[in-house]
Amino acid sequence: MRAASDHPLSAVPQDEDPVPPVANPETGEIRLLEDRCTTCVLNPAASAAPLRPGRRQQLIREARDCGGQIVCHSTMWPAVPEDFPAAMCRGFIDAYGLPQAAQEAIELGIGHIVEVPDPKRIGIGTHGKAQQ
């Protein structure tokens, strides 16, 4: 039997800038953006969210080195309300695959992928209401 802290959906980073969770250990829901957002940081096009030089490669390297993923910036505050559920970046998952913890949770039958729409596409703003 696994200890609660070993649960693949309950991993919490131990840095000073905590990453919002993309999974709910109680329901097994592992959220993934259904399509790459138009400003995806992994998009080499001009529409990508601006990052300082070298930051995109650093994000990718750090996520891959620890077996993690990148959280979609469109599902994080201040783009959406702080209590809005975050989701994994579709661009990262399409390029590098699901993180080990998500794969393990799915294999153990305690997790499942739920594809969620881009909050911008469905009109969710920082106030949590549909934008007019």
- The DSSP string of 27-53 is TTEEEEESS--TT-TT--STTSPP--T
Q: Please, what is the end-to-end C-alpha distance for the chain in angstroms?
A: 50
- Determine contact, residues 61/71, Cβ cutoff 8 Å: no
pLDDT tens for 63-77 read 999 999 999 988 988
- Give the pLDDT of residue 126: 59
pLDDT tens for 13-50 read 444 557 789 999 999 999 999 998 878 888 877 677 78
What is the CA angle 89-115-96, rounded to 5?
35
Mean pLDDT of the chain: 82
Distance, in Å, from the CA atom of 126 to the CA atom of 77, rounded to the nearest integer, reads 7
